[in-house]
Amino acid sequence: MFRINLILLLLLSTRFAVAEEWQVTKSQEGNFQIELPGEPEYSSRVIDNEAGKVKLHIFTLTETKSGIQVFMLMYNDFSDEVLKQKTTDQLLTDAADGVKQNFKGKLLSDKKITSDKIPGKEFDLTSTKNGRVMHIHWRLLLAKNRMYQIACMGIDKKVPDETVKRVRESFQLLK
């Protein structure tokens, strides 16, 4: 699904911010809101994967107050054809496997979840690239045809558990 180089490109192309206070980011188009320790930048890319060409919407914040921490929310829509071919569990597993394969790291935890009645997967892993250790916390949620991906990553230093929990639990679909 992703290539680690895409993630590194996103990290390097994002402005670095020193977060002073948490902010709620809302996207009417994405139908969500999330709380992050600063204001993310929006970008989009078309990726070609087994589901075909998919437009990936990306909200990224790189915070440097407590080491390098990267917070991302991404979403994409699956076509009706893809939804007919695969179950929710298959789509979540495929997405999780793609992330894990691209980081080629050590899996620390992996579990199925439900968040506000939305099925998902959550996993943590570590990965080393160019001598830097990335501590990665990833959550996938599939709401109807839309896949949401929430990532908290610390480079050389883990994002505090309370921060990961706050980001994950703040995600809500707009009604």
Q: How far apart are CA 14 and CA 60, in angstroms?
A: 7
Region 109-118 average pLDDT:
95
Q: What percent of the chain has pLDDT over 90?
A: 78
Region 32-58 average pLDDT:
92
Q: Which residues is 136 bridged to in the sheet?
A: 125, 153
Q: How would residue 175 be classed by pLDDT, with cut points 50, 70 and 90? A: confident
- Angstrom distances, CA of residue 115 to CA of 1, 121, 130, 150, 170: 23, 10, 35, 12, 11
Which tens digits make up the pLDDT trace of 122-170?
999 999 999 999 999 999 999 999 999 999 999 999 999 999 999 999 9
The fold adopted by the segment(s) 4-173 is Protein Transport Mog1p; Chain A (3.40.1000)
Q: Which residues contact 30 (CB under 8 A, 6 or more apart)?
A: 57, 75, 146
Q: Quote the pLDDT of residue 5.
A: 42
Q: How would residue 20 be classed by pLDDT, with cut points 50, 70 and 90? A: low
- The dihedrals phi and psi of 89, each to the nearest 5 degrees, come to -60, -40
Q: What share of the chain is helix, strand, coil (3-state, %, to 5)?
A: 25, 50, 25
Q: How far apart are CA 129 and CA 117, in angstroms?
A: 36
Region 102-116 average pLDDT:
94
Q: How would residue 9 be classed by pLDDT, with cut points 50, 70 and 90? A: very low
Q: What does DSSP assign to residue 12?
A: H
Which tens digits make up the pLDDT trace of 78-97?
999 999 999 999 999 999 99
Which tokens in the block code for residue 68?
A: 């390098």
Helix (H) or strand (E) segment spanning residue 163: helix 161-170
Region 116-121 average pLDDT:
95
